[in-house]
Amino acid sequence: MVRQVRTWAGVVAGLAGVVWASWACAGTPVVLKAETLDDDGMVTLGELFDGAGEASSVPVAAKPGRSVVLNAAAVQSLARRSGLDWANAQGVRLIAVRSGEAASAAPAAVSRANVEVLTYARSLSAGEIVAPEDLVWAKVAAAPADAPSDAERVIGLAAKRPLRAGAAVSARDVSAPQVIKKGEMVLVTYADGQITLTLQAKAVGSAAAGETFNVQNPSSNKVLQALATGPGEALVGPAAVQLRARSFASR
């Protein structure tokens, strides 16, 4: 019985090792973007999926108007033929693609004369972390519709683009700071119960903690989707799926 238990444990560990060693053999894993936008009238795989890589320019459908609705199954099939693997775990049936210009104009400035809002006390470069002393309350003639009412919602986040001193703060200005930078080597851990395997891989994209991104095995050049867990660290496998599920549930 002891020998059987040891043999079974060896089989399980061996299978995990095979899966780990042959990652992404079915195609590069991709994730459907939270907001699918197009500006030039031709929807591409890169506009639908994060991590599309070389397949980003593959055309999917024309968008003659301000929006178009795509069949998710047809998109999934095209993505597979282009070397991408979209699992569609959420069971999406239709994908709506809008014009980027219309989307960016949605949270436009709302005219509110002499309203007091948070403004930037100094100019910030893209990637800089917003500190408490970088914010000051001031009266402006017009404030963004998504202007935060609490400084705590902005402090600790990173500037997505250069921000000018005196400008009203907008939620679109900032995002969670990136802990993974494109091109750097990342310690990737595969975890499934008592089985843990690690290796160094190259980050194909950048990500904040809790975001998914692609990593590439430098030996095989195969790509796998990972979950950023900290500076230079990522998680794959069942443990990553569970962690991401808990993150969604807590929102």
Which among 34, 95, 46 has a CA at the least distance from the CA of 67? 95
Structure tokens at 155: 């402090």
Torsion angle of C-alpha atoms 85, 75, 160, 142, degrees rounded to 10: -160
The CATH code that applies to domain 28-104 is 2.60.480
- Residue whose entry in the numeric block shows the structure tokens 């998710």: 72
CA-based angle 128:175:208, to the nearest 5?
90
The CATH code that applies to domain 109-175 is 3.90.1210.10
**Amino acid type, 248:** F
Cβ-in-10-Å burial (0-12, 13-18, 19+) of 23 comes to buried
Domain borders along the chain are 28-104, 109-175, 178-249
- pLDDT tens per residue, the chain (251 residues)? 444 434 444 444 444 554 455 444 457 888 898 888 888 888 999 999 988 888 888 899 888 777 788 888 899 989 988 889 898 877 888 888 888 654 454 444 444 556 788 999 999 998 899 999 999 998 887 788 888 888 888 998 999 889 999 999 998 899 888 889 899 999 999 888 788 889 999 999 888 888 888 999 888 888 888 889 889 999 988 887 777 776 655 55
